[in-house]
Amino acid sequence: MAALRLWGQEASGNCYKVKLLAAHLGIALEWVRVDVTKGETRTPAFLAMSPAGQVPLLRCADGSHLPESGAILWYLGDGTRFVPTDPLARARVLQWMFFEQYRIEPNIATSRFWIHLLNEADRYAAEIAAKREPGLAALAVMEAHLAAADFFPGGAPSLADIALYGYVPCAPEGGFALDAFPRIRAWAQRVAALSGHIAMHDPLRPPSAYVKGLP
């Protein structure tokens, strides 16, 4: 199969998820860098490919374009070891993927965007404050789940682990310290220890910042 083209930004956890899954599965991706902070996802040319102006954006084998990290993960991952075959087990993978996009990403990733990527914590102080309680609540739900499971939804690593790993380990960059979440820290280290794992290449972060899967 020819390399699939992926438009994305290195420091985006949503883009990193796709790169991480591709690394595990040996899928070749042709990376096209797009800088969200410079409006490069709002140009007419980009919007023609990605109507909501989203990265990651995948060009599929048939030449069409697929946005939404969760949909791209499912497209690349269904039929592999990262998606179970039992219908309820498959639904539980999606349960945690929707959880990630609704409760982790809008709180933790957006806080990290303002603090870490834009370096404008003061300007966005009110927005960041509003994200604090729901972000901590989402992390608490993950921590509770990990009392009885090593992965999401459990047993073996799944697409849900890939999706959650996009932003949860770098939660401290969004002001969410993980010290109070020892099971999440241990889970992140388990995911980072999987054969085939690659770290996020965040140019704003020194490579040495990642130790055992956590910044």
Helix axes 182-192, 125-145, angle to 10 degrees: 80
Show contacts with its own copies in window 140-169 (CB under 8 A): 141, 144-145
Q: Shortest distance, CB of residue 140 to its own copies, whole angstroms?
A: 9
Show contacts with its own copies in window 77-96 (CB under 8 A): 78-79, 87-88, 90-92, 94-95
Q: 192 exposed, middle or buried (CB, 10 Å; 0-12, 13-18, 19+)? A: middle
DSSP letter at 37 equals G
Whole-number Å distance between alpha carbons of 4 and 185: 32
At residue 63, φ and ψ (nearest 5 deg) are 90, -10
Instruction: List Cβ neighbours of 141 (8 Å cut-off, separation of 6 or more).
Output: 99, 103
> Quick check: 63 binds its own copies (CB under 8 A)?
no
Count the neighbouring beta carbons within 10 Å of the beta carbon of residue 132: 14
Q: Which of residues 149 and 156 has its CB atom nearest to its own copies in the complex?
A: 149
> Quick check: 72 binds its own copies (CB under 8 A)?
yes
Q: Two tokens at 86?
A: 């039992």
> Quick check: 67 binds its own copies (CB under 8 A)?
yes
Q: Which of residues 106 and 172 has its CB atom nearest to its own copies in the complex?
A: 106
- Beta-bridged to residue 31, according to DSSP, are 6
Whole-number Å distance between alpha carbons of 193 and 200: 14
> Quick check: 66 binds its own copies (CB under 8 A)?
yes
Q: Which of residues 67 and 172 has its CB atom nearest to its own copies in the complex?
A: 67
Element (H, E) at 12: none
One residue of 31, 75, 124, 210 binding its own copies per CB under 8 A: 75
One residue of 1, 26, 45, 64 binding its own copies per CB under 8 A: 64
Rg (CA), the chain: 17
Residue type, 13: G
> Quick check: 35 binds its own copies (CB under 8 A)?
no
> Quick check: 59 binds its own copies (CB under 8 A)?
no
Q: Shortest distance, CB of residue 204 to its own copies, whole angstroms?
A: 24
Q: Which of residues 81 and 212 has its CB atom nearest to its own copies in the complex?
A: 81
Site residues, its own copies (CB under 8 A)? 51-52, 60, 62, 64, 66-72, 74-75, 78-79, 87-88, 90-92, 94-95, 98-99, 101-103, 105-106, 137-138, 141, 144-145
